[in-house]
Amino acid sequence: MTKQIQGRSRRAYLAGVGSAAAIGFAGCLGGDGDSDGVTVAYMPIFPDLQYYVMESEGYFGEIDAEINGQEFDDGPAIVQASASGDIDIAMFGIVPSMTVIDRGIRAKVTAANIKEPMAILADEELQALWDDHGSDAFEVWEDDHGERFTFGTFPQGSVPDMLLRYWLQQEGVDAESDVDITEINGASAVFQAIANEEVDGASIMEPVPTRVAQEGFDIQTFRTSAEIMPGQPAAVTLMTDEIREEPVAADFIRQHVRATEFIDANPDETAQIVESGIGMPADQARQALDGPLANFVTDPREIESGTAIFSQFAHENGQIDEELSTEQIFDYSIYDGL
């Protein structure tokens, strides 16, 4: 389910060679107390770009701990690893982060990675129907095609799924009876489903919106998450209580800020990092970085309002047992303390 990564590129490793502090710190952290250094879970997705920048640019070498990166395919796998005490810091979706907290695991969100990074994609025929019929366009589509409109997105409880269901609800559309929602694992698989005409629309982050635009498919961006929910949360940085009490927490967030600033100031170099780290071709990554979905941030307050909406919606839909308050979810002190 997971693939172990060495945690540092050659460049980052060289930056950290000779750090006595890192050697002394190794072994005193980790969810089970026996891990060498700090285990950081992340996913190979655009909204986790700060991780790849920190690795590529040697920022991990500025942290007084050995950073052991562990790549996961999806959020539920990180939740499971967190429950086992194997993760110190996790860079993944706000909804699975809430799941971790809701399960009683002592952790809080200390940084946002990105805000408003999603898009609702829809067949251009539906978009034209929407101009005349509004949300009744789904009913007209079913009458014309003999089957319901099908969205493809990540599994239920993920951020793309949650945004899609929230948008449908706001438009008065029943996600269970008015449309079909197909669960798909991975952005590349969502893109392939679009390319193969297996779905009529999607809720997804980059690189899919840019790729479908370049390919000229009938399915194109219909709504951005900024239009649906200003301040919409997505990937965040979650830290265990044990790590938040250590100096490494501030070190990590400080480098996170550097990575966010690097992305904003160096789009050409960042595009190369996206290609080598995530696999999105650099030319597509460069276009995506100029697009409306590349809103990289660190300040957790940037996503506070959207997180409150997601918490309510996640509770109503059974993703979490308790509707979590922003105080239960966030720890602002580390970012503010910088």
| pLDDT per residue as tens digits for the range 202-260 | 999 998 999 999 999 999 999 999 999 999 999 999 999 999 999 999 999 999 999 99
Judged against a pLDDT cut of 50, whether residue 5 lies above it is answered with no
Q: What is the pLDDT of residue 23?
A: 29
> Cα–Cα distance between 112 and 297 in angstroms, integer?
6
Q: Within this chain, do residues 160 and 87 fall inside the same structural domain, yes or no?
A: no
Span 307-317, average pLDDT: 92
Q: How far is CA 324 from CA 26, 79, 327, in A?
A: 34, 17, 8
**Shared-domain flag, residues 297 and 170:** no
Q: Measuring CA to CA, how many Å separate 318 from each of 146, 179, 299, 322, 335?
A: 31, 20, 28, 9, 31
Write down the mean pLDDT value for the chain. 89
Query: Taking Cα atoms as reference points, which of 48, 116, 64 lies closest to residue 273?
Result: 48
Q: What CATH number should be reported for the domain holding residue 260?
A: 3.40.190.10
Instruction: Beginning with the edge strand found earlier in the chain, give each strand of the sheet holding 201-205 in spatial order.
Output: 180-183, 150-153, 201-205, 118-123, 219-224
Cα separation, 203 vs 152, whole angstroms: 7
Least confident residue range of 22-31, 37-46, 66-75: 22-31
* Contact yes or no for 228/120 (Cβ under 8 A): yes
109 - beta bridge partners? Answer: 238, 330
Parallel, antiparallel, or unpaired: how do β-strands 89-93 and 38-42 relate? parallel
The residue among 228, 257, 276 that closes a domain is 228
Q: What is the pLDDT of residue 36?
A: 63
Strands, E assignment, the chain:
2-4, 38-42, 67-72, 89-93, 107-112, 118-123, 150-153, 180-183, 201-205, 219-224, 235-240
Phi, psi of 67 (to 5 degrees): -95, 115
Residues 317, 318, 319, 322, Cα dihedral to 10°: 110
Same domain, 27 and 98: yes
277 has pLDDT over 80:
yes
- What is the Cα–Cα distance from 19 to 15, expressed in whole angstroms? 9
What distance in Å separates the CA atoms of residue 321 and residue 35, rounded to the nearest whole number?
Answer: 31
Answer whether 44's CB lies under 8 Å from 279's CB.
Answer: yes
For the chain, the domain total comes to: 2
Query: What is the reported pLDDT for 185?
Result: 86
Q: Are 213 and 80 contained in the same domain?
A: no
What mean pLDDT is predicted for residues 321-337?
97
Identify the band that residue 7 occupies on the pLDDT scale cut at 50, 70 and 90: very low
| Residues 266 and 318 occupy one common structural domain | yes
- Per-residue model confidence (pLDDT) at position 75: 87
Burial 213-225 (b: 16+ CB within 10 A, else e): beeebebbbbbbb
pLDDT digits (tens, 9 = 90+) for 66-102: 999 999 988 889 999 999 999 999 999 999 999 999 9
71 and 134 share one domain: no
Burial zone of 315 (CB within 10 Å; 0-12 exposed, 13-18 middle, 19+ buried) = middle
**Does 111 share its domain with 122?**
no
Last-in-domain residue among 174, 198, 228? 228
Q: What is the pTM of this model?
A: 0.85
Enter the tokens of residue 253. Answer: 């967030």
In this structure, the answer to whether residues 189 and 280 fall within a common structural domain is: no
Q: Find tokens 């996206």 and name the residue.
A: 274
Which 8-state DSSP code applies to residue 296?
Answer: B
Q: Which of 228, 252, 274 is the last residue of a domain?
A: 228
Claim to verify: residue 67 and residue 22 sit in the same structural domain = yes
Q: Does residue 105 sit in the same domain as residue 237?
A: yes
Q: What is the pLDDT of residue 319?
A: 87
In this prediction, residues 10-20 reach a mean pLDDT of 30
**Dihedral angle at the C-alpha atoms of 205, 210, 215, 217, nearest 10 degrees?**
50
pLDDT of residue 76: 87
Residue 33: both structure tokens together: 């107390």
The residue written with tokens 């239009």 in the block is 227
Is the distance from CB of 103 to CB of 205 less than 8 angstroms?
A: no
**Would you state the pLDDT for residue 26?**
35
Q: Which of the two residues, 13 and 200, has the higher pLDDT score?
A: 200
User: Considering all CA atoms of the chain, what is the largest pairwise distance in Å, rounded to the nearest integer?
Assistant: 69
Q: Tell me how far apart the alpha carbons of residues 44 and 273 are, in angstroms, rounded to a whole number.
A: 12
On whether both 110 and 251 belong to a single domain, the answer is yes
Average pLDDT over residues 325-336: 97
The parent domain of residue 84 ranges over: 2-115+232-337
Q: What angle, rounded to 10 degrees, do the helices at 247-265 and 49-56 form?
A: 100
